[in-house]
Chains A and B, each alone.
Chain A
C-alpha cells in the first residue's frame, strides 16, 4: 500500500506514517448491528475445549456472539453443536451450564431429543400419535450450528454457511494453539472455576488491550513493582523482551519473555525453593519431547493472542481463554477459563492458579486496571466529539502486505492487522 487509504472507519497515510481508526467503530449502535452480521457471524468464534466434553453424553451450554448453544459429545463419540431451542415453541432444551445426559427434554411440552439431536418423543405416545407419521423418526431434529470444527483441542463455531475451514482461517495463529497442546504429553484439561464479568466498553477495546505491549509500564506499573518486589534478592531480573507478530486474517499476538513464572515451566523465587526441582523437571520433560528451541519458547515466553474477531487466548502464567460476548456497542461479557496439563501434579496446579491470580482476573493485580482504562475510553467516545483514534506507533506501509509481519513489542502492528481485517469485512 503506497497510496492513502480512506474508508468510513480507517484513514491510512503511508507517506505521513499515520494509521487512524474512526471512533464510530466503537460508539455507533448501527455499526454494532452491522458488524454482528458482517464480522461476528462470519468468523470462527472460540467456543470450548475438547476436555469439557471428553466423555460420551458430556454437554455444556454457552452463549457466543448473541447465540445460545449446546455443545455435546453424543453416545457414539460425535461432537455436535446445536442451537439451544426446541423446534416446537422454542424454549431452551438445556438449562444447565454443563453435565452428562443421553437426551435433552424441553420443559414446556416435554419434547425429547436424543443426544444426536433427533426428536424421539413429543411428550407421550398420545401426543406422538397426533403428529404426522414419522415425526419422531429422524425428520425433526434440533438445529445444528452451520459450522463446528476443532484445532489442537479448541472448538470453534462459525455461523456463515460459506465459511472457509477453521485451519485456513487460523493460518499462522494455529501454531500458538498447537504449542498450548504441547504443554503436556497426555493432553490439557479445563480447570474448575470461571471468571465471568462485564465491562462497559466495546469488545474491540479488550481485544486491543489483550496484546498491547505499550501499556504495560503505565497501566500495570503497580503490578510490575509487585513482580520486582517478589524478585528482590534473587539475582533475577524482570527484563521483558519480545515482539508483536501478525498472522494474517486479522489474528496477531505478542510474544514476550518475562520472568513472571510458569507451571510449564519457569521457576521464579516467589514459587518457593521447594518446587524448584519439580518445575525444572517439567521443563526438561517439555524440551525432551518437543526439542530445545521450541521447548524454550513454550517454557519461557508468554503469548497473548487475539484470534480475530473476539477470542483472546493468553498463554502466560496459565493458559487463559477469554471468550468475549459483545452484548451491545458499549458492553461486553467476558468469560475467562483456564487450562492445565491433565497430568499436572497437585503442587504445580496450586502454583499455576496462585501465580495466575496475582495478575489476571477481575480480582487480580492487572486486569482491573485494564478494565478501568477501557471504560474511560468508551465513555470518551460517547461523550466527546473527537473522531479518530491513533494507531500509528511503529507504522510502516509495507507491513500491510507482508505475510507474518513482526514489530517491536511496544508497537501497534497487531492492532492495525486487526483493524484492516475488520474494515475489509465491514466493506465486503
Chain B
C-alpha cells in the first residue's frame, strides 16, 4: 500500500483532538494565502520539523492514488529544500511564466479527517482551483491528501498531495501556480 494511504487503515487509538471545523479553518487560510500570492506566509504554514512533501501527481492516470514519486514521473515532487527554492523562484522578476501573475481562487470542499494519531492527522478534500490569465480561465479539479501536524505554533502542513482529474494540462499548460 502506498505510504500516503497507509494511515487510512489504522485504528484510532490516540488522537490529536482535531475536528473538521478546525481543519477547515486552517485550509481556508492556506487557500487564502495562495490566492493572495502571500507565498512566504503560505510557506510559514508548513511544519518546521522533519521532512515535508508537496506533490502534484501526473495527469491522465487511471489510479493516481497508487503512484509513488520514487518510481513515477510526477508533475511536482518537492521536499523542503525544493519547495523553499520554488518560492524563491516564484518571487523573482525572472519568473517569466508568471510575469503577469495568474489570479487564482482555491475552492475546498468535502473535507474529511481520515485518521489521526497523537501528533498529526491525515485529511482529504476536494479542490477546484480557478486560474485566470488574460481573458481565459481554467479549472483544476482534484483530490487533495494532506497531513497536518499539531505544533506549539498551531496546525502545520507536513504533506500536501494533489491528484488532478485532468487528462492533460491543456490551456495554460505550464503549472506555475501552487495548487
**Which residues from chain A sit less than 8 Å from chain B, CB to CB?**
97, 191-200, 219, 221-223, 226, 229, 270, 333-334, 337-338, 346, 349-350, 353-354, 356-358, 361-363, 365, 367-369, 371-373
| Residues A226 and B96 in contact, CB atoms below 8 Å apart | no
Q: How far is the CB of A379 from chain B (nearest CB, A)?
A: 10
Contacts of B82 in A (CB 8 A): 358
| Residues A363 and B71 in contact, CB atoms below 8 Å apart | no
| Residues B86 and A357 in contact, CB atoms below 8 Å apart | no
Contacts of A369 in B (CB 8 A): 94-97
- Please classify the interface of chain B as helix (H, G, I), strand (E, B), loop, or mixed, using the class held by over half of its residues: loop
| Residues A372 and B174 in contact, CB atoms below 8 Å apart | yes
Q: 9 new A-B pairs (CB below 8 Å) besides A357-B77, A361-B73, A371-B174?
A: A191-B71, A197-B174, A199-B173, A222-B95, A353-B72, A357-B73, A363-B76, A365-B85, A368-B97
8 closest A-B pairs by beta carbon, nearest first, are A197-B173, A193-B73, A196-B168, A368-B174, A368-B97, A363-B76, A197-B169, A193-B72
* C-alpha gap A346/B89 in the complex (Å): 30
Contacts of A334 in B (CB 8 A): 173
Contacts of B58 in A (CB 8 A): 193-195
Contact with A along B64-107 (1 / 0, CB 8 A): 00010111111111000110011011001011110100000000
Q: Check: B56 CB closer than 8 A to any chain A CB.
A: yes
Contacts of A97 in B (CB 8 A): 60
Q: Check: B29 CB closer than 8 A to any chain A CB.
A: no
Query: What count of chain B residues pass the 8 Å CB interface test?
Result: 36
Among B60, B95, B176, contact of A194 (Cβ-Cβ < 8 Å): B60
| Residues B168 and A198 in contact, CB atoms below 8 Å apart | yes
Most buried by B among A198, A362, A371: A362
Contacts of A333 in B (CB 8 A): 168
| Residues B73 and A356 in contact, CB atoms below 8 Å apart | yes
Contacts of A362 in B (CB 8 A): 75, 169, 173-175
